Amino acid sequence: MVYIFMAEKNKIKVIHYIFKLNNLGGAELQVLNIVNFLDKSLFETFVLTINVTSEVLEKFNKKNIKVINLEINNIFKIYRIILIPFIFIKYKIDILHTHFFYAHLTGRIFGFFCGIKKIFSTEHNLIDWTQRNILLRKLNYFTVYYLTDKIIAISNSVAEILKQNNIQQNKILKIYNGIDIKKYSQKIGEDKKQKIKEELNIKNEIVLLTIARLEKRKGLNYLIEAVEKLRKINIKLLIVGAGKEYKNLTKQVEILKLTNKVLFTGAKQNVNEILQIADLFIMPSISEGLGIAIIEALAAGVPVIATNTGGIPEIVENNVNGILVEPQNSDALANAILKILTDGELLNFLKSNAQNSVCQKFDIREIIKIYQELYQI
C-alpha cells in the first residue's frame, strides 16, 4: 500500500529514497536520524522505500516520519517502481537524497526527468565501486557525473575510493554519519542491567559484544575463532544482528563447541541499553565504510577493539579509545581481547577516553547543521 500524505506549502520538500528498510543498520538509522532532527519549520520530509518491515516502520512512525512504501516484496511487483516519478511530482519534491545502489540509479534517473532541483546520494560503503560488475559501475558513474549534484562520502576512506573512480572532487562531500550521543551516553540503573543480563542468560561472565549485520564482510567468523582461542576465560560473546550468514555462523559455533560461549540475539531495538552491560565492544569487519556501531559503543563508554580498515581508523585511535588490529586475523583479535582484560590500567584509560572521542565529531545535532545548509536552495 502506498501511503498518501498532504504536502505542506512554503517548506522545502525533501525525500530520502532508501531501497529497503528491512532492519535498522547504520544507513537506515542514519536516514531516521537525519529526517528526525531536521528543522520541521524549514523542511517537510518523506522517506521512500520499496519494502519496509513492520518493526522498522514502527520506529519511523514513533518519530512521526512519513514513510511511502511501494511494497515491492517480490519480482512480480517490480513494475511498481514506475510509481516513483508520480510520487516526486505529487509531493512537489525539491530535494532527493538517495541511499544504496539501486536507489541511486532509479532515483537519479527519475529525479532528473521530474525536474527535481537538487539530487544528493550518500555512499555508505565501498561495495558499489569495488565489487559491482563493470557495466553497473559504469552506469553508476554516468548517473553520478550527469545527474547528481553531490555524492556524500561517510568517511575519508569512502571519499578516497570515489576519487580513485574518477569522481570529480567538487562533487564529493564528506559528512560523517552521526548518532544521538545523549541517547547512548545515558546510563541505566543496576536493576535494569541485571534484568537485561537475566533475559540473555548472562551470569558472571565477561561480556563481549558486537552489533552488526550477519554478512561475510563483517568478519564475524574471525571473532568466533578468537573466542575459541580464549575458551578457558569466563567470557560470553553477544552477537546482535540478523543476516544471511546466520546459518553459517551458528554452524561454526556448534562445530567449535562454543554454544555456551556465543549467543545470537537477533536484531534488537534496545542496543543503547545492551551496550551498558558490555565490557568490550568488538568490530571485526573485513571492510567498513565507517562503523556506526563503534560510535554507539564509544558514546556508551565501552572500550572498542576493531579492525584497521575503511573508515574505522577515523573513529578509533589505537591505544587511546580502543585497539586496532588487522582484518581477518583471529589471533590478533584474541590477543587484543586478552590484553585489555588483563591490563586494568589500559582498560580504564580506554574507558576514560571513549565518550569524549565521539561526542563532538559524530553528534547528529552537529551533523544535521551541515545537512540543513546543504538542503537550502
CATH number, residue 346: 3.40.50.2000
User: What whole-number distance in Å separates Cα of residue 71 and Cα of residue 12?
Assistant: 26
Q: What pLDDT tens digit does each residue of the chain (377 aa) get?
A: 566 666 666 899 999 999 999 888 889 999 999 999 999 999 999 999 999 999 899 999 999 999 999 999 889 999 999 999 999 999 999 999 999 999 999 999 999 999 999 999 999 877 766 667 788 888 888 999 899 999 999 999 999 989 988 899 999 999 999 999 999 999 999 999 999 999 999 999 999 999 999 999 999 999 999 999 999 999 999 999 999 999 999 999 999 999 999 999 998 889 999 999 999 999 999 999 999 999 999 999 999 999 999 999 999 999 999 999 999 999 999 999 999 999 999 999 999 999 999 998 999 999 999 999 999 97
pLDDT of residue 92: 96
Q: How many residues does the chain have?
A: 377
pLDDT of residue 247: 97
Q: Are residues 171 and 104 in the same domain?
A: yes
In this structure, is residue 7 part of a structural domain? Answer: no
Q: Are residues 174 and 189 in the same domain?
A: no
Q: Are residues 309 and 367 in the same domain?
A: no
User: What total of structural domains would you count in the chain?
Assistant: 2
State the alpha helices, DSSP H only, in 25-121.
26-37, 54-62, 84-90, 101-113
Q: Are residues 185 and 135 in the same domain?
A: no
Domain range enclosing 149 = 12-178+363-375
Q: Are residues 169 and 23 in the same domain?
A: yes
| CA neighbor of 122 nearest in space, from 149, 88, 145 | 149
In this structure, is residue 193 part of a structural domain? Answer: yes
In this structure, is residue 79 part of a structural domain? Answer: yes
In this structure, is residue 4 part of a structural domain? Answer: no
Q: Are residues 221 and 334 in the same domain?
A: yes
In eight-state DSSP terms, residue 78 is G
Count H helices and E strands in the chain, helices first. Answer: 16, 15
113, with CB counted inside 10 A (0-12, 13-18, 19+), is exposed
pLDDT of residue 5: 67
Residues 6+ apart with CB under 8 A from 348: none
Q: Per the confidence metrics, is the pTM higher than 0.85?
A: yes
| CA neighbor of 211 nearest in space, from 181, 171, 248, 184 | 184
User: What whole-number distance in Å separates Cα of residue 177 and Cα of residue 125?
Assistant: 12
Q: Are residues 22 and 34 in the same domain?
A: yes
Residue 278 one-letter amino acid: A
Q: Which residues pair with 280 in a beta bridge?
A: 208
Cell 575519508 sits on residue: 156
pLDDT of residue 3: 63
pLDDT of residue 309: 95
In this structure, is residue 2 part of a structural domain? Answer: no
Residue 191 one-letter amino acid: D
Q: Are residues 158 and 248 in the same domain?
A: no
Cβ contact 293:311 at 8 Å: no
Q: Are residues 30 and 147 in the same domain?
A: yes
> Grid coordinates standing for 68?
511511502
Classify 49 as helix, strand or coil.
strand
Q: Are residues 165 and 57 in the same domain?
A: yes
- Buried b or exposed e, range 124-143, using 16+ CB within 10 angstroms: bbbebbeeeeeeebeebeeb
| CA neighbor of 304 nearest in space, from 358, 242, 235 | 358
Classify the phi-psi angles of 310: left when phi > 0, otherwise alpha if psi is within -120 to 50, otherwise beta.
left
User: What whole-number distance in Å separates Cα of residue 13 and Cα of residue 15?
Assistant: 7
Q: Are residues 95 and 187 in the same domain?
A: no
Cell 568478519 sits on residue: 219
In this structure, is residue 304 part of a structural domain? Answer: yes
Q: Are residues 93 and 158 in the same domain?
A: yes
